[in-house]
């Protein structure tokens, strides 16, 4: 069963994922403790986003096991999803519905109550409340990303998955995001994020994991101190990035 | 009860988007009306001919037009990546299927509300009867059940406009036969008992495909 008090937020064992003939994850083993902010780093194609999509249960592994918050995700999908909030590359919103309509719809899917209060709280937190009645299609990408963040926070998940959350955000919104991540950490919740803004990520994280060729290349539990080693591991040649600049 | 709320929420969301865009109903009704009009020119519609060919023309038109609408209904979810947003929610995948099928049912039903009266006028047939309501409901349930499943299967295929009719039309043939035969019995003024076997076929088709499709759908969503 899913346990909110589990010590490990994520346990991945020998996870393999291929897309056609391209191997993306090659037997990934990773344990991420609950209550920490973990940043996943790696060059393009290292497998960060794929791993996050697997944790969000949008992509299935070819082999290996993953448990989240103490539960095998293959067996307890809906229960784990109820404790997980995700902001991935695309905002995944209905363009012809307003922000409020989008959030109300997803609140129903998450079986939430006191929806009006919840919407007021999360939209204030991400700074979108003045445009609640605007259709999503009329908003900038950065604003849509904030709506997606509001949706992910609405059910107060134990585990927040953020895939390059700062992309498209202005500096004020990034500061807001940092405050939300800090708040999550102080509440004992878990954040797993990917980013390419390495320096900033190391300042706000408790743990950094560098993925290289679909496996863990380097792990640090003191990212701000291990900056040099992390950047060296991040910059090391990656077979999966053959076509890079 | 909770599951019904989820299904209704997804169906209602599709309806709200359709009211704003009018993509699906206009496509389905427009296409079906076009088929009816073409046949009224192509066939000498005296009373005998109208009763003979009318039911076939009606349901063939709705089936072909339905494919157009079903394609569009799922394409919208994929274009905005919102299908993945549904998959992130802590609900079983079969509820997503049933919600989407409900939305498609509503679109095709609304299109029929437009098409059937026009059919009655063009073919000069009496169709405003309880029998027609039963036939229409059963056929729309089956079309939505099969169409939602195959639309989900074909939506990521490059040639989805071709793929969906190739999958959909052969499978709904028994249901189409039941609809045509039942409607035919109705326009000839026969009793419920005369069309009972066709209605039973439609009920069996609907039950089988709703259950099987809901089961298969969750595997289709996984890549």
Which of the four pLDDT bands, split at 50, 70 and 90, describes residue A245?
very low
Residue B212 region, left (φ>0) first, then alpha (ψ -120 to 50), else beta?
A: alpha
Q: Does the beta carbon of B90 lie under 8 angstroms from any beta carbon of chain A?
A: yes
| pLDDT for A1 | 52
- Is the confidence at residue A37, as pLDDT, over 90? yes
Which of the four pLDDT bands, split at 50, 70 and 90, describes residue A243?
very low
- Is the confidence at residue A242, as pLDDT, over 70? no
End-to-end CA distance of chain B, in Å?
A: 30
From the list B82, B88, B222, which residue is nearest A94 (CB)?
A: B82
Cβ pair A111:B85 closer than 8 A:
no
- Is the confidence at residue B221, as pLDDT, over 90? no
> Among residues of chain A, what percentage have pLDDT more than 70?
93
* Half-sphere exposure of residue B154: CA atoms within 13 angstroms, side-chain side: 22
CA of B14 to nearest chain A CA: how many angstroms apart?
Answer: 10
Three-state SS at B191: coil
Identify the contact set of chain A against chain B, taking CB-CB distances under 8 A. 56-60, 77-79, 81-82, 84, 86, 88, 90-97, 101, 105-106, 108-111, 151
Cβ pair A90:B81 closer than 8 A:
yes
* Half-sphere exposure of residue A199: CA atoms within 13 angstroms, side-chain side: 0
Query: Which of the 8 DSSP states describes residue B81?
Result: T
Which of the four pLDDT bands, split at 50, 70 and 90, describes residue B23?
confident
Cβ pair A92:B82 closer than 8 A:
yes
Which of the four pLDDT bands, split at 50, 70 and 90, describes residue A3?
low
Residues 52-81 of B with CB under 8 A from A: 80-81
Question: For residue range B179-188, what is the model confidence (pLDDT) as tens digits?
Answer: 999 999 999 9
CB pairs below 8 Å between A and B: how many? 67
CA of A199 to nearest chain B CA: how many angstroms apart?
Answer: 30
φ/ψ of residue A109, rounded to 5: -65, -30
Find, in chain A, the residue whose alpha carbon is nearest to that of B221: A58
CATH number of A1-83+157-240: 3.40.50.300
Question: For residue range B142-193, what is the model confidence (pLDDT) as tens digits?
Answer: 999 999 999 988 877 777 778 888 899 999 999 999 999 999 999 999 989 9
Cβ pair B13:A97 closer than 8 A:
yes
Interface probe with A: pick from B23, B77, B85, most Cβ of A within 10 Å: B85
Cβ pair A96:B21 closer than 8 A:
yes
Q: Give the total number of structural domains in chain B.
A: 1
Chain B residues with CB inside 8 Å of A49's CB?
none
Q: How many CB atoms lie within 10 A of CB B130?
A: 9
What are the C-alpha distances in Å from B72 to residues A8, A95, B63, B97, B166? 43, 16, 15, 16, 16
Domain of residue B38, residue span: 2-221
Domain boundaries, chain A: 1-83+157-240, 91-156
Which of the four pLDDT bands, split at 50, 70 and 90, describes residue B75?
confident
ipTM of model:
0.89
Q: How many Å apart are CA A58 and CA A24, to the nearest integer?
A: 15
CA of A236 to nearest chain B CA: how many angstroms apart?
Answer: 31
């Amino acid at each position: 069963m899913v346990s909110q008090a589990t010590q490990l937020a994520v346990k991945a064992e020998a996870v393999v994922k291929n897309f056609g003939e391209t191997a993306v994850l090659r037997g990934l083993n990773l344990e991420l403790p609950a209550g920490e902010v973990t940043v996943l780093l790696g060059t393009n194609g290292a497998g960060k986003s794929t791993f996050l999509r697997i944790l969000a249960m949008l992509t299935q592994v070819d082999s290996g096991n993953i448990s989240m918050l103490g539960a095998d995700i293959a067996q307890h999908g809906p229960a784990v999803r109820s404790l997980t909030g995700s902001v991935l590359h695309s905002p995944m919103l209905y363009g012809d519905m307003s922000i409020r309509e989008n959030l109300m719809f997803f609140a129903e899917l998450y079986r939430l109550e006191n929806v009006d209060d919840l919407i007021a709280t999360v939209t204030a937190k991400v700074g979108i409340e003045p445009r609640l009645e605007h259709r999503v299609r009329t908003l900038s990408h950065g604003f849509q990303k904030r709506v997606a963040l509001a949706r992910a926070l609405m059910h107060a998940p134990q585990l927040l998955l953020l895939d390059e959350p700062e992309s498209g955000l202005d500096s004020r919104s990034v500061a807001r995001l940092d405050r939300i991540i800090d708040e999550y950490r102080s509440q004992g919740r878990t954040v797993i994020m990917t980013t390419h803004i390495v320096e900033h990520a190391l300042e706000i994280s408790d743990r950094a994991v560098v993925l290289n060729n679909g496996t863990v290349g380097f792990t640090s539990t003191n990212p701000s101190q291990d900056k040099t080693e992390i950047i060296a591991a991040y910059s090391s040649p990656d077979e999966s990035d053959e076509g890079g600049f | 009860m909770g599951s019904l709320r989820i299904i209704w929420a997804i169906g209602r969301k599709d309806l709200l988007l359709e009211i704003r865009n009018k993509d699906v109903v206009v496509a389905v009704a427009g296409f079906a009306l076009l088929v009816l009009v073409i046949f009224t020119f192509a066939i000498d519609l005296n009373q005998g001919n109208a009763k003979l060919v009318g039911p076939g023309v009606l349901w063939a038109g709705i089936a072909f037009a339905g494919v157009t609408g079903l394609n569009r209904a799922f394409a919208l979810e994929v274009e905005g990546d919102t299908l993945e947003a549904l998959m992130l929610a802590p609900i079983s995948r079969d509820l997503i299927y049933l919600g989407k099928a409900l939305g498609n049912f509503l679109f095709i039903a609304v299109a029929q509300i437009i098409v059937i009266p026009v059919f009655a006028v063009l073919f000069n047939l009496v169709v405003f009867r309880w029998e027609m309501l039963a036939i229409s409901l059963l056929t729309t349930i089956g079309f939505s059940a099969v169409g939602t499943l195959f639309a989900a299967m074909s939506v990521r295929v490059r040639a989805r406009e071709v793929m969906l009719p190739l999958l959909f039309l052969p499978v709904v043939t028994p249901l189409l036969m039941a609809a045509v035969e039942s409607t035919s019995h109705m326009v000839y003024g026969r009793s419920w008992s005369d069309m009972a076997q066709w209605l039973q076929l439609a009920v069996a088709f609907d039950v089988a495909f709703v259950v099987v499709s809901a089961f298969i759908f969750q595997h289709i969503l996984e890549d």
